[in-house]
Structure 1
């Protein structure tokens, strides 16, 4: 005989985005205005979902929120995850938590619209929701790591939990005239294949990129997309399906065409794309290497696309850029201008600090990780010897720059330029070696828990350090790298880090390069 249980229920509440907080409310309105313009539709009210569960006379509040907005220690935290990027999750301000809070509350529940929506009153289903919630993966808030066409957020977590426990997802909709961004991402993770739930109360499809264009308005927009893209100077916007090859032909940052493509994986034979059983591609987009364009002046480079883009290659591009423009600035340095010498000394010191942090991270964390990868031991030994060679070359640059800063003479500037160009050859040899031979060994491991530990250890040690780094890599960044950065880090996060946390770079370093042009 089945055990009798008390009342049971799952009630879903639709909370207006920014309920109780003006900053979130206004930023959400700005986001929705931009999204509506981009998708050729009317603006909609935005909602995020929360659940109240009842089982065995105990109420549970289920919600995702910032780790800092609820102070109670016994609030039923199931997991924490990063906001914006994995490495930003190192800072408390950029972490969220998922709560299943016995006897708890959902902040601003009184502002819920068209709520509560009773999804079940079966005790077994409520118990299933409670059982499945701890299994929710800690994906990055604000990112589309699933290739679902929508970012992961609180709506994704609620949709996932309900879909995994047999709820009728076709019957669950936001209030009329509204939408719930991120809902479809939860259904994708749960393997739901029903109707796209991102509909308003009138049944008008709003957010699914896979189904966008169902209306005549969207059809007209789609027919006009090539012309609109031509006016913008680019291609029609597309969502890249996960684990597929992509061919894009944007304009280069210097006006030269750049061909972007996903190459075959050399380790598994020509023509075998990443994402196959032999080798899963884990990082989208493309990379650039520099080709000297000495006709444009010393240190000038064109960027062409040659491989899979990674954050490592973004850093490499910034190093190459700074070495090139430092050599150019030293070649043009006026004789006796000590003020200019001090400026270039500051700029070089910043480049040296970024290189030092990058290579110490590789020596301490990346190379030991790779040493455990089959077939990588000998390559790691070569990489370590190249680091030693770079340290020697940079020590020569350091000495030459110290002399030039103290005298400001044109002769010492030329000597420093020669040291920079010699170091450039050594550095370029190592960067190319990393990109061609080390990264292919690393790419298959970038989704593993072991690599996530390494990734966390590679983060800048402070928020100010993260800001300076973000400002530095974007200073003069070519469009291919900028496109990758946009796909990897949400634009608001990039802006806040580079323009606010990184303001010291814009104050002390960026003007040095502007005055050189």
Structure 2
């Protein structure tokens, strides 16, 4: 996926469209954050609002992403791969890495609120480093297990559960995850939606999303 310099580490599988696109969007936002979230920009009210708007969406999407993995995906893999010590080790890593990242989000909140005294650059660098490591680790070791160990029928149940849990978030998620993507990437991502929802995406969700300045 071009918009985030995604390499061949991604498992190219239809069932992983949302997962891969989300990882690309997280990397995109981490890059933007590192560039614009400076003490100097926080002193300017317009820049500050824009940064905080971008951060609010990024944080919400990351928390939802991790919640869906912890609630729907990892438990299924644990059940299906219970006899594999290597798989259990990877899934333990996923959970521990999530636990490390969550406090970092609160640290960034604090650094943004106290930007004049907090070491903003160091906090953002730590988030970039640890989240970047986690995304790559997940792509290399956890995501391939989804294709290997979760049958299509089970995966459809997982996707159904995630959709029910996140239905109200689609107006933010879809414009966010497609931001900066190529036409081909957008078409692939939108293939997850029924045709009526694609129309709503274009006519309602995207225009509303773009009215707000982010980053």
**TM-score, reference length from structure 1:** 0.36
Distance 1:448 1:403, change over 3 A: same
Counterpart position of 2:80: 373
Alpha-carbon displacement from aligned partner over 1:12-45 (angstroms, at most 9, x marks no partner)? xxxxxxxxxxxxxxxxxxxxxxxxxxxxxxxxxx
- Establish whether residue 360 from structure 1 lines up as the match of residue 67 from structure 2: yes
Shift of 1:363: 1.1
2:163 is aligned with 1:436: no
Cα shift at 1:460: 6.0
Q: Distance in 2 between matches of 1:506 and 1:398?
A: 24
Question: Alignment length, in residue pairs?
Answer: 207
- The answer as to 2:209 corresponding to 1:505 is yes
User: 8 Å contact 1:365–1:458 — kept in the other structure?
Assistant: yes
CA separation of 1:438/1:479 partners in 2, compared to 1, >3 Å: closer, same or farther?
A: farther
- The aligned counterpart of 1:329 is 36
CA contact (8 A) 2:178 2:186 kept: yes
Please say which structure displays the higher CA radius of gyration.
Answer: 1
**CA offset digits 1:278-312 (Å, max 9, x no partner):** xxxxxxxxxxxx5xxxxxxxxxxx44444333221
- For residue 398 of structure 1, what is the aligned residue in structure 2? 109
Confirm or deny: 8 A CA contact 2:171 2:201 kept in the other structure. Answer: yes
C-alpha spacing 1:492/1:445, structure 2 compared with 1 (3 Å): farther
Structure 1 stretches of 5 or more lacking a match? 1-249, 254-289, 291-301
How far off its partner does 1:328 sit?
0.7
Shift of 1:336: 2.6
The answer for the alignment partner of 1:419 in structure 2 is 123
Q: Which has the higher helix share?
A: 2
Deviation track 1:295-354 (CA, whole Å, cap 9, x = no partner) reads: xxxxxxx44444333221110000111111011112484463133212211210111011
Cα 1:503–1:428 shift into 2, 3 Å:
same
Cα gap change, 1:433 to 1:304, in 2 (>3 Å): closer
Question: 2:54 pairs with 328, 331, 347, which one?
Answer: 347
Residues 11 and 139, structure 2, Cα contact 8 Å, conserved in 1: no
Greater RCO structure (CA 8 Å; 6+ sep):
2
Partner of 1:211: none
Deviations 1:264-289 (A, max 9, x none): xxxxxxxxxxxxxxxxxxxxxxxxxx
* 2:195 is the alignment partner of 1:484: no
Q: What residue number does 1:453 align with?
A: 157
Equivalents in 1 of 2:157, 2:128: separation in Å? Answer: 32
Output the aligned Cα RMSD.
2.8
Q: 2: distance between equivalents of 1:478 and 1:425?
A: 26
Secondary structure at the counterpart of residue 181 of structure 2: coil
Structure 2 Cα separation of the partners of residues 475 and 428 of structure 1: 19
- The 1:385–1:419 alpha-carbon spacing in structure 2 relative to 1, beyond 3 Å, is same
Shift of 1:477: 2.0
Task: Tell me if the contact between 1:465 and 1:502 (Cα under 8 Å) persists in the aligned partners.
Answer: no
Distance 2:98 2:29 in 1: 18
Q: Does 1:387 align with 2:98?
A: yes
Q: Is the 8 A contact 1:468 1:504 kept in 2?
A: no
CA positional deviation for 1:400: 0.7
| Counterpart-to-counterpart distance in 1, 2:31 and 2:161 | 29
Post-superposition shift, 1:493?
A: 3.4
* The structure with more strand, counted as a fraction of residues: 1
| Cα distance change on mapping 1:368 and 1:479 into 2, 3 Å | same
Structure 2: gaps of 5 or more residues: none
Q: Deviations over 1:30-77 (max 9, x none)?
A: xxxxxxxxxxxxxxxxxxxxxxxxxxxxxxxxxxxxxxxxxxxxxxxx
